[in-house]
Amino acid sequence: VVDIRKLYGQTGLFTFDPGFTSTASCESALTYIDGDEGVLLHRGYPIGQLAEHSSFMEVCYLLLNGELPGADELTKFSTTISRHTMLHEQLNSFYSGFRRDAHPMAIMCGVVGALSAFYHDSTDISDPNHRKISSHRLIAKMPTIAAAAYKYSVGQPFMYPDNTLSYTGNFLRMTFGVPAEEYEVIPAVEKAMDRIFILHADHEQNASTSTVRLAGSSGANPFACIAAGIACLWGPAHGGANEAALNMLKEIGTPDKIPHYIERAKDKNDPFRLMGFGHRVYKNYDPRATVMQKTVREVFDALKVTDPLFETALRLEEIALSDPYFVEKKLFPNVDFYSGIILSAIGFPTTMFTVLFALARTVGWVAQWNEMISDPGQKIGRPRQLYTGPTQRDYVPIEQR
């Protein structure tokens, strides 16, 4: 008779939940999702209302502090963030160590991970003031780090932050401006970009946020934790899906090719999936995708451009949502399905898409990290396993094997 608990090296109550599909890893007051109804709330406010009426700075304040800011509080918070936008000059030299064709997410992992080497005056995680400063530093410096990753890839000089501009306007200027010329921020583009940041700000215990919490649970410094989150976000099943979705739309090309790709997505022997479709939690339309689809049109109007891939995407959505496979499995467009079309129209190369996601998600990561560290009952994250290897056996000398 085998004691199964001993076999698995485990006694007591034990759950086995691969992918954590039905395990809550923590309590959190930040973000609520009702996946069946397609509802997403930050601190109780619906994402649609925040995207329509709010600003990214306001949402950052909300996520970090629990309430929407008053006018003075918002000004003070935005000013504080703008005072941290500059990078230590020596950090800039990190970039030249990378190949020009390095993926900007690889650069982000490296540069953000290195921040603790420059800002160790804010890494005492037991000190709430250190936690606050490091959170502000991360939110403020991500646009500068991201823009520099882009500038490096195109061989242009880095742009220093212009703190007279908004958070998002400054980011656009650092990315697309050049030192010798005036850069005019187009208000509609600034608004669209800001909205994209809002849509990506937080999403409860997704893979990268769980990674940040797990890394932080050991007491690692916040910069290291966010670098871990960036690494996790990079995967095509998570943040990398926006890049993969646009590449897929390009591969499909014209609407007449859609049925072929729908059939491929349904074929279990074919690894192809519709990128930007499906979600672990949403079994309904992702509310962020609704806003994103609307924003595509606004950006096209503002820039007086169009993109035939938008027609392909709309048609793909229409065909998929009338196909029993997608209906039965409740596979709907997610936030990544339309975002690439907007970012591409604004001028970002596909490799920057996940970087923008990381930039926006930083506030969610630091808010979740702060919530975890402030919890007096916080423990190191340490999942168990079901051991499936050999039972105990004796070492065999090499000449007898």
Please give the residue ranges that form the binding site for ligand ACO (CB under 6 A): 19, 237-239, 241, 265, 273-280, 329, 331, 334-336
Q: Which is nearer to ligand ACO, 140 or 275 (CB)?
A: 275
Q: Which is nearer to ligand ACO, 19 or 324 (CB)?
A: 19
- Nearest distance, CB of residue 194 and ligand ACO, angstroms: 18
Q: Which is nearer to ligand ACO, 275 or 352 (CB)?
A: 275
Q: Which is nearer to ligand ACO, 117 or 237 (CB)?
A: 237
- Nearest distance, CB of residue 14 and ligand ACO, angstroms: 22
DSSP letter, residue 26: -
Q: Which is nearer to ligand ACO, 161 or 340 (CB)?
A: 340
279 counts as catalytic: yes
336 counts as catalytic: yes
Q: Which is nearer to ligand ACO, 250 or 329 (CB)?
A: 329
CA 310, CA 397: separation in Å to the nearest integer?
Answer: 65
Q: What is the largest CA-CA distance in the chain?
A: 80
Q: Count the residues in the chain.
A: 401
Q: Which residue is nearest to ligand ACO (CB)?
A: 278
Contact present, 133 and 186 (Cβ < 8 Å):
no
Q: Which one from 101, 336, 375, 394 is the annotated catalytic residue?
A: 336
- Nearest distance, CB of residue 289 and ligand ACO, angstroms: 10
- Nearest distance, CB of residue 210 and ligand ACO, angstroms: 12
DSSP letter, residue 63: H
- Nearest distance, CB of residue 266 and ligand ACO, angstroms: 7
Q: Residue 49, SS3? A: helix
- Nearest distance, CB of residue 387 and ligand ACO, angstroms: 24
Token code pair at residue 44 = 């109780």
Q: Which one from 279, 286, 307, 323 is the annotated catalytic residue?
A: 279
CA 36, CA 257: separation in Å to the nearest integer?
Answer: 31
Q: State phi, psi for 33 to the nearest 5 degrees.
A: -125, 130
Angle at which helices 353-374 and 336-346 cross, to 10°: 120
Residue 267's alpha-carbon distances to 69, 256, 264, 325, 394, in angstroms, are 50, 19, 5, 10, 46
Q: Which is nearer to ligand ACO, 169 or 240 (CB)?
A: 240
Q: Residue 333, SS3? A: strand
Count CB-CB contacts under 10 A for residue 210: 18
Per the listing, tokens 């823009």 go with 147
CA 141, CA 223: separation in Å to the nearest integer?
Answer: 11
- Nearest distance, CB of residue 46 and ligand ACO, angstroms: 18
**Can you say whether the dihedral through the CA atoms of 219, 373, 79, 200 is positive or negative?**
positive
Q: Which of 32, 335, 47, 33 is nearest to 198 (CA)?
A: 47
Per the listing, tokens 């403020």 go with 140
CA 173, CA 183: separation in Å to the nearest integer?
Answer: 6
CA 383, CA 401: separation in Å to the nearest integer?
Answer: 35
Catalytic residues: 279, 336
